[in-house]
């Protein structure tokens, strides 16, 4: 995820996250992801999107079967 200092718009961020733009709007409204407000515009730093991904990782542990 290297875009330098480029701020991503809603379309770019939702595409990068693999979610619908309406879902991303909901996440923003619930303040679950760090974002930048420029007037009415919402932008995202690539590192904040990566932090959101990392925060939502689910650690899967192997379960041993008992027969």
Can you give the pLDDT at residue 61? 80
Average pLDDT estimate for 26-50: 97
Domain assignment of residue 18, given as a range: 10-52
The pTM for the full model equals: 0.78
Domain contains 28: yes
> Domain for residue 31, yes or no?
yes
For residue 66, being part of any structural domain is answered with: no
Q: What are all long-range contacts of 46-49, with beta carbons under 8 Å and residues at least 24 apart?
A: 46/1, 46/2, 46/3, 46/6, 46/8, 46/16, 47/1, 49/1, 49/8, 49/13, 49/16, 49/17
Task: Name the band, by pLDDT with cuts 50, 70 and 90, for residue 1.
Answer: very low
Residue 5 lies in a domain: no
Counted domains in the chain: 1
Is residue 26 included in any domain, yes or no? yes
Domain-located, residue 2:
no
pLDDT in tens, 5-24: 799 999 999 999 999 999 99
């Amino acid at each position: 995820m290297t875009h330098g200092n480029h701020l991503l718009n809603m379309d770019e961020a939702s595409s990068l996250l693999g979610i619908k733009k309406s879902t991303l709007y909901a996440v923003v409204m619930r303040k679950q992801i760090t974002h930048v407000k420029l007037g009415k515009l919402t932008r995202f730093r690539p590192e904040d999107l990566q932090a959101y991904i990392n925060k939502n990782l689910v650690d899967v542990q192997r379960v041993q079967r008992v027969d």
